[in-house]
Amino acid sequence: MADVPNDAPEHCPGTSSDQAGKSSACQGSPDPAIEEIRQKLTSVKHKILVLSGKGGVGKSTFSAHLSHALARDDSKEVALLDVDICGPSIPKIMGLEGERVHQSGSGWSPVYVEDNLAVMSIGFLLSSPDDAVIWRGPKKNGMIKQFLRDVDWGEVDYLIVDAPPGTSDEHLSIVQYLRGAGIDGAVVITTEASLQDVRKEIRFCKKVKIPVIGVIENMSGFVCPKCKNTSQIFPPTSGGAQRMCEELNLPLLGRVPLDPRIGRSCDEGRSFLTEVRDSPAAVAYQNIIIISHPNPSKHL
């Protein structure tokens, strides 16, 4: 066959075939890092992805405070991995700006917020928070591989993975490398203004066979910090996340209202679950996250 390259593997269907790129002969050798990561993460019980269809919906804020909430149980070990390579905001939200990663005999040591809450982000590898990460896909994928394979996570009950918005290189890498280790599922964050984009994220999860644990509607109303009343700033015009979840047969885990104090707590690197316990947003988080449940990944 003229369209079969000279160095092609046996049974190659040829570049002009409908099976090009699809047959088993096109798959090549599996990345050995997949098995290395599977073995490395045998000590991690639950792995949860936090995804969004677009940026600015509060995904990293949720990831950070899910980690804080889980770590309130002193008997649980929690790890937060920031794989938003070009826009790492976790170090600031967690109050860890300026921290550095240290190398040990067993690998990279994550940065600890508390004795039972470890964090890893490319932000710890930059000389300044203002440094731009200008990388193509392969280099970003290599960084994610290192985070999963080379970080000494130790015995961990929950690994929360904060992914960048969209359905691109980083998402494919994290799914590829974690598939063997087992992914409990994904929590998808949306707002009223991003429902169309979040549908694409949910479609992505179905295509790569990641269970969707549920959807959280963020910025659902505005809480006045003085009178504590909640006002609808973005009234749902299409039924909101509730209707979308009904159409897609997915659970709506909860709605979190806007509260200016949340942003201030994140800027100061503090958990607003502790700083503003009286906020309806904090109450909404507590209703979403059931810490005492033996497997929060079943229903956060």
Place of tokens 């104090």: 261
245 is in an annotated binding site: no
Q: Using CA atoms, how far apart are residues 262 and 281, in angstroms rounded to an integer?
A: 8
CB neighbour list of residue 18: distance below 8 Å, 6 or more residues apart: none
Look at the chain and count its residues.
300
Q: Using CA atoms, how far apart are residues 2 and 157, in angstroms rounded to an integer?
A: 54
**61 residue type, one letter:** T
Strand partners, 80: 119, 160
56 is in an annotated binding site: yes
State the DSSP H helix or E strand holding residue 246, giving kind and residue range, or none if neither. helix 240-248
55 is in an annotated binding site: yes
Question: Quick one: angle between helices 32-40 and 137-150, nearest 10?
Answer: 40
53 is in an annotated binding site: yes
Question: Quick one: angle between helices 137-150 and 169-179, nearest 10?
Answer: 30
47 is in an annotated binding site: no
95 is in an annotated binding site: no
Tokens of 141: 């994928």
Question: Each residue of 163-176: b (16+ CB within 10 Å) or e?
Answer: bbbbbebbbebbbb
State the DSSP H helix or E strand holding residue 200, giving kind and residue range, or none if neither. helix 195-207
214 is in an annotated binding site: no
Annotated binding-site members: 53-60, 224, 227
Annotated binding-site members for [4Fe-4S] cluster: 224, 227
Annotated binding-site members for ATP: 53-60
